[in-house]
Amino acid sequence: MAARTLSEPGVAADADTFLLWVLAWSELAAFGILLSAFLVTGFIQQLEFAAGQAQLHPFLAGLNTLVLLTSGWQAALAGLADASRPEQRRSLVMAALFGFLFVFIKLVEYGDELRKVEGTAYGHFFELYFIITGFHLLHVVFGAGLLLLVAWRPSRANIGLVTTLWHVIDLIWVSMFPIVYLS
């Protein structure tokens, strides 16, 4: 029996799927480490973290949670087996637009928070806050761009790849929101 090569459709799809899950799990691990550092530092610097969290906007973060979940829902619609090409495109573009709305709301939130971070009264709270949420924000911008790219030339495989990554970004935010804003 001859060995299968990467140019064969089934082998290429298996390699793509494997790389997708390596990327997804590495993202979850990276954010898991960052959120663990946030929790440990918050335990050590309880007063500073409480003061820092009091400066945040849980309403805007909650609104952003709804925006990102709506975006994820649109991405899921694009991945439905019976979705037509125009429906796929529309859903991917809508998912991307909601992603960019998330970015806009987050930048409004950052604008107010950046005015409050001077001095050391908040310990390492805002350092970790901006690292974690900024890293996530970069993922949202990149992911929304990928959604638009796939919407331009959708294929079943690419839709599956990009929507899986988009759902990982959603999952990270849904995990991050209560830890950063509500703990």
CATH architecture of 18-182: Up-down Bundle (1.20)
Which two tokens mark 17?
A: 């799927």
pLDDT over 90 (residue 24): no
pLDDT over 90 (residue 104): yes
Residue-wise pLDDT tens digits, 170-183: 999 999 999 999 97
Give the DSSP letter string of 105-155: HHHHHHHHHHTT--SSTTTTHHHHHHHHHHHHHHHHHHHHHHHHHHHHS--
Q: Please give the pLDDT value at position 20.
A: 77
Residue-wise pLDDT tens digits, 118-162: 766 788 999 999 999 999 999 999 999 999 999 999 988 899 999
Q: How confident is the model at residue 58 (pLDDT cuts 50, 70, 90)?
A: very high
Domain positions in the chain are 18-182
- In the chain, what's the furthest Cα-to-Cα distance? 69
